Structure 1
Amino acid sequence: MPLVRISLAQGKSAVVKQHISDAVHQALVKTFNVPADDRFQVISEHPAGDFICAPEYLGIRHTGDAVFIQIVCNEGRSLEMKQALYRHIADGIAERAGISRADVIINLLETKKENWSFGNGIAQYALPGATVPGQTPAPVPQ
């Protein structure tokens, strides 16, 4: 279960926000093997004064269209998978929402699978024999 936080300056249309949301989710499905129905996202808009992005960093120019994407997910993906995820997100947002790839800023936070509860106060992935898509099942106690 990735938990995705998408932050952007106020003023984007509902259609643009949906395109961003869809691009992120489709990239997760394609590169991280996330099930299609595993979609948990929060989209936040911020007044211009509360959304701060360096105009240039690491030789990359940013505009007022910058989008911050933070993804919390289970640990264990390879560097190649992460690089593919970033590329697919940036490409998808550029294609669907018309926002420059340079304005797509992504932060990935990895956590252990037992740090999730999908409801009912239970750590479902910590149960014996539980499986996480793309990862090894938890050992069953003998």
Structure 2
Amino acid sequence: MPTVHVDLRRELFAEKGPAISQAIHAGLVEGLDMQPDDLFQAFRPHDEGELVFSPDFGGVDRRDLVWLRITMVHMYPPDAKQRLYAALVRHLEAAGLRRDDLLVSVVEVGFEDWYAGGPVGE
């Protein structure tokens, strides 16, 4: 059950929010073989000046910033994460974003670090 927090410009969210959401979800389903009904996203639109970033760090041509922080259980090997990144880039480019404007960070936690509703272990 990955959760995704997305920081981006307010105008970009207003223009493409639903398409970005769908692209992220498609990338997670494809890249991690995630169940299609596993959908938990939070968008945090920002005003001018609230996203501060280096336009050329890492040798890219960053003109904007769309920052995805994915929190997930530590269970995926490195090759699965690479498939995830490739799928996210492909789907987000199809939604009209530039690959150089994407920043994806994964935060991994243990199974014991989650509660997602339902019965509590007794």
Q: TM over 0.5, yes or no? A: yes
Task: Show structure 2 runs of 5+ residues with no match.
Answer: none
Alignment of 1:111-122 (within 5 A): 111-119=109-117, 122=120
Structure showing greater radius of gyration is 1
Aligned twin of 1:106:
104
| 2:77 alignment counterpart | 78
CA distance in 1 between counterparts of 2:72 and 2:103 reads 17
Q: What is the aligned partner in structure 2 of residue 53 from structure 1?
A: 53
- Once the two structures are TM-superposed, the CA of residue 119 in structure 1 deviates from its matched residue by 2.0
Residue 11 of structure 1: aligned partner: 11
> Which 4+ runs in 1 deviate beyond 6 A?
none
Q: Which amino acid aligns with 1:99?
A: L
Higher relative contact order (CA 8 A, sep 6+): 2
1:13 CA drift (Å)? 4.9
Percent of matched pairs sharing the same residue:
26
**What count of residue pairs does the alignment treat as equivalent?**
122
TM-score, scaled relative to structure 1: 0.79
Partner of residue 68, structure 1: 67
Question: C-alpha root-mean-square deviation of aligned residues, in Å?
Answer: 1.7
3-state DSSP of counterpart to 2:70: strand
CA distance in 2 between counterparts of 1:15 and 1:52 reads 21
Structure 1 position 120, deviation (Å): 5.1
Q: Normalized per residue, which structure has more helix?
A: 2
**Counterpart residue type for residue 116 of structure 1:** W
Query: Residue in 1 aligned with 2:40?
Result: 40
Determine the structure 2 residue equivalent to 1:130.
none
Q: Is the 8 A contact 2:2 2:73 kept in 1?
A: yes
Deviation at 1:24, TM superposition (A): 1.0
